[in-house]
Amino acid sequence: MSRPPLYSFYLLFCFFSLLSGIQSDDLQILLKLKSTLRQTSNTSAFDSWESSNSMCNFTGITCNSQGSIIKIKLSHQNLTGVLPLDFICQLQSLEKLSLGFNNLDGPVMDDLKNCVKLQYLNLSNNLFTGWSVPAEISSLSQLQYLYLDGSELSQTFPWKSLQNMTGKIPVEIGNLVNLRKLSLSHNSFIGKLPVGLRNLTKLEVFHFSMNNLEGNLSELRFLNNLVSLRLCENELSGQVPTEFGEFKKLVILSLCYNSFTGPLPQNLGSSAKLYIVNLSMNFFTGQIPPYMCKQGTLSVLYMFGNNLTGEIPASYANCSTLLDFRVNNNSLSGTIPTGIWGLPHLLNIDIKWNSIEGSITSDIKNAKSLATLYAGHNCLSGELPAEISKATSLKFIQLCDNQLSGSLVQLPTSIIYFIFPNNRLTGEISHMICNVSFLERLDISNNSFSGKIPQCLGNFSNHLRELDLQMNSFHGTIPITLANSSFLQYLAFSDNDLEGPLPRSLVNCKTLEVLDLGNNKISDFFPYWLGALPNLVVLVLKSNKFHGPIGNHNTSGKFFNGLEILDIGNNKINDFFPYWLEALHKIHVLVLKSNRFHGPIGNHNTSGIFFSKLLILDLSHNKFIGPLPINYFENLNAMKIKDEDKHEPQYLSDGSYQESVVLVVKGLKIKLKRILTIFTTIDLSSNKFEGLESLDLSSNRLTGQIPIQLTSLTFLAMLNLSQNQLTGPIPQGKQFDTFENNSYDGNLGLCGFPLSVNCSTNELLSPPLPSILQEHNDSIFASGFGWKVVLMGYGCGLLFGLAMGCVVFNFKRGNPKWLLSMETSSHLFFNWTVARAIWFASYWSLKSDCIPISSNEDIVRLVLDPTSFFGFGKIHNWRRFLAMLLKDDHKGQWWPRKLAGYHPEYRKEITKYNFLMV
């Protein structure tokens, strides 16, 4: 039975009416979306969204053949507002929703579960404040691509059906079998990778970097269709599954900055065409897998910061596609496969901080693309090949701390940084180096170069910033052309044989920050004119032949106003104390030792806060006289407690310049490389100061007789020589007639007043102890102290007495930084900031040192075991140290009464030391 034609027309009319209704609904949804979201002036995404236009022509909208909306693409449009998923998901045919890289905020609504036909969802890089998607999100069974990177999502994995899984895998996970790309990087997800991931066998991309995931990768070993796996910067651990070595489609493997351990699968890359491998900053052990370059596609290989051992596989010499090769900071050994030096497309090679041997071969001439070569801190030897000049793209060379020898060859004209310290290069610097027109940093310190410094080094006027030629054998004068280097910041020529005057043209180096010319033979007056350099921070002129007065110059605030380190020790400067130093408000290190300074210290006619940031002061071996200026020492604020919560030491400077200072400890010169801010020292020994009022040398191993010269200390009010091994008669007269028995307790060989033991005739007639001037070596710590080191302190000039000790340590604005905490154990335990040395001649034990520290490492040792700094058992005199130096600011009472409460063992002994304050 045939239907009338009118029926067909009727059906057709119904269809178009329904379609028109759907399109009308879709249009209203889009217009509502426009009114909800806001666009900034930087976008015109909604300009075409007008009811007069066809919605299929709206910007970012795609319709199917029936006119229904299937795609919304509004990424990178600077949109703001709350995402209205409640009506977006009313678009019944919507397959793709892309709103990434906007500024959408607020929560992600539960209505997302209604987008049942959604295949592609990108909400990455927005500002969402929460995520509450229920388990029903698994109803999006057609979802293939999910991008939620950088959207401020937090808590656990967003699908509740995958949270805290135990036992059987929930049925909801089976609805996600079509998922191919899952990207959730740059969020704050926590917890372990969900168990159900093993069922997502179609997954090709899994990106979950920069979260807080933990656990291992066992659930990923089943995903053999993976093409890209990125899990950097999490808290993942365990070993890399061996199955990864069998993944044939894997192209990108990035597991950096986690805590993975164990060896890597040695078949990694044997079947896959790897392109990027980043396994850096983990705890991997074993050898580098040899097959990662087998397929000839590897471009980037990062394996730095692990515990890898063995040699670099020879197969990498044929890795012609390699662009970036970084295996630094491991324990690799052996030689570099020869072909690696000449890989034609290689841009960067970094093998520093290993134990790699061998030489840099002439193959490097083929490295036409090589831009950076970092191979420092290895065991490379041989000469630098002349062919390196043909690596015409090379800009950065760092080969420090190797055993490279020979002369300095011609460098590529493209070079910017040439860092070559601590090697064995010899000969003169060729003038060919001046063909390098873009050189910014040249460091060839600590080699064996000789000859004169080329004048042409001043030709790099618009580029040269750092020039370091320290610790070589250069002679002659400093090139006057260096003033042409208008951007020069760092100039270090110390430890050479340079002569002549300092070129006045240096005053034109307005950007100069560091000038280190120490340990040369420069003969000149003090270069006060350098004070005009506005950026000068470090001035080291020690151990030269500077002479004459230093002068009192302009102190208006523009003279050395930024100076932090001034070291002019071991010269022949003859002058009064330079009062202009008072204006150096940033000074940390001031060394004037071993010159011919004389007269009193400081200007008693001025007042103010001086030297508040000073950490190291060395005025020793001069001819200063008189009392010490109270206004200087009471303002040493940098030596007080400021940062009680800071537990780790810091260096005085954090730039490329490594500041150092030479100190004298027990007569030995010790060079501290890099100065820790927790280290402070005052050395005023070998001068002619007056006013010593307290001398405590107790609980050491001093031997021999008490020197008669001590009776000349006319201001001495307290003497403590107890618990030593002294013998002979006690000197009589002057202040010694006022001291009581307890000043000499524990010295069984002493006799005479005030002790009850009388001296024999032989003892009274014996000449002064010859050992007073006898030379001693370090064995004094094992066999007992000699008096020579004591007399060295006061014989050349008396130093801090108790009165000055009160000024220095009784600060009104804070307790001394030398002591920060105490523990009630059998030994006092100090944290970082206890590692302080205050050097007072005749004040503590030997010469001028209170806490002998020979290196920065010793500071750490002091924290862990203070007794390790002395050659004999338990350090009893730490108690005297605390008792003498610490005072209660509030009550005006000495700290011994306070310390006595910390441990019963110290109570009786410490409370004896209630010293006078003057």
60 in Cβ contact with 48 (< 8 Å): no
The residue written with tokens 């392109």 in the block is 275
Asked if residue 263 has a cis previous peptide bond (ω within 30° of 0), the answer is no
HSE of 871, CA atoms in CB hemisphere, 13 A: 11
Alpha helices in 758-885 (DSSP H): 761-765, 780-783, 788-795, 802-809, 856-864, 878-885
Q: Which helix (H) or strand (E) holds 26?
A: helix 5-36
Question: What is the pairing mode between strands 616-618 and 589-591?
Answer: parallel
CA 126-129-132 angle, to 5 degrees, is 110
Angle between helices 802-809 and 878-885 (to 10 degrees): 70
Q: Which amino acid is at 540?
A: V
* Residue 251: both structure tokens together: 């192209």
The residue written with tokens 């220095």 in the block is 808
Q: If 0-12 CB within 10 Å is exposed, 13-18 middle and 19+ buried, where does residue 363 land?
A: middle
* Residue 826: both structure tokens together: 């059998």
Q: How many helices (H) and strands (E) does the chain have?
A: 11, 53
Q: Rg for the chain (alpha carbons), in Å? A: 38
Residue 617 pairs in a beta bridge with: 590, 682
Residue 302 pairs in a beta bridge with: 278, 326
The backbone torsions φ and ψ at residue 191, rounded to the nearest 5 degrees and listed phi first, read 90, -170
Integer Cα distance of 867 and 88 in angstroms: 74
Q: Residue 487, SS3?
A: coil
CA distances for 620 relative to 362, 525, 634, 663, 709, angstroms: 54, 21, 20, 10, 21
* Residue 193: both structure tokens together: 């990778």
- Sign of the CA dihedral running 150, 156, 161, 164: positive
Q: Which amino acid is at 678?
A: I
Integer Cα distance of 464 and 52 in angstroms: 65
Q: Residue 459, SS3?
A: helix
The residue written with tokens 């790897």 in the block is 274
* Residue 482: both structure tokens together: 């260096």
717 alpha carbon, distance to own chain's centre: 48
Question: What is the pairing mode between strands 660-665 and 668-673?
Answer: antiparallel
Asked if residue 107 has a cis previous peptide bond (ω within 30° of 0), the answer is no
- pLDDT for the residue 666: 59
Question: How many residues are listed for the chain in this entry?
Answer: 918
- pLDDT for the residue 916: 25
Integer Cα distance of 381 and 424 in angstroms: 9
Walking along the chain (918 residues) 10 residues at a time, the average pLDDT comes out as: 55 47 78 86 84 91 93 91 88 92 80 86 82 58 84 46 30 68 84 83 93 92 95 96 95 97 96 96 97 94 98 95 97 95 96 97 95 97 95 96 96 95 95 87 96 86 89 95 85 96 92 96 95 94 95 65 94 92 91 94 75 90 87 80 57 68 71 72 84 84 88 85 93 89 92 90 56 36 39 38 33 34 27 29 29 30 30 35 37 33 35 27
726 in Cβ contact with 705 (< 8 Å): yes
- pLDDT for the residue 315: 94
Integer Cα distance of 460 and 121 in angstroms: 55
207 in Cβ contact with 162 (< 8 Å): no
**Which of the 8 DSSP states describes residue 417?**
E
Integer Cα distance of 722 and 757 in angstroms: 16
Which residues have a Cβ under 8 Å from the Cβ of 308 and sit 6 or more positions away? 284, 285, 286, 287, 288, 327, 330, 331, 332
SS3 content of the chain, % helix, strand, coil (to 5): 20, 20, 55
- Identify the structural domains of the chain with CATH numbers, from first to last: 14-127 (3.80.10.10), 525-687+803-876 (3.80.10)
Where does residue 570 fall: left (phi above 0), alpha (psi -120 to 50 degrees), or beta otherwise? left
State the distance between the two ends of the chain, measured CA to CA, in whole angstroms: 129
Q: Residue 890, SS3?
A: coil
Nearest to 234 by CA among 261, 206, 260: 260
Q: Residue 30, SS3?
A: helix
- Sign of the CA dihedral running 516, 518, 520, 526: positive
Q: Which helix (H) or strand (E) holds 896?
A: helix 896-899
HSE of 236, CA atoms in CB hemisphere, 13 A: 31
275 in Cβ contact with 252 (< 8 Å): yes
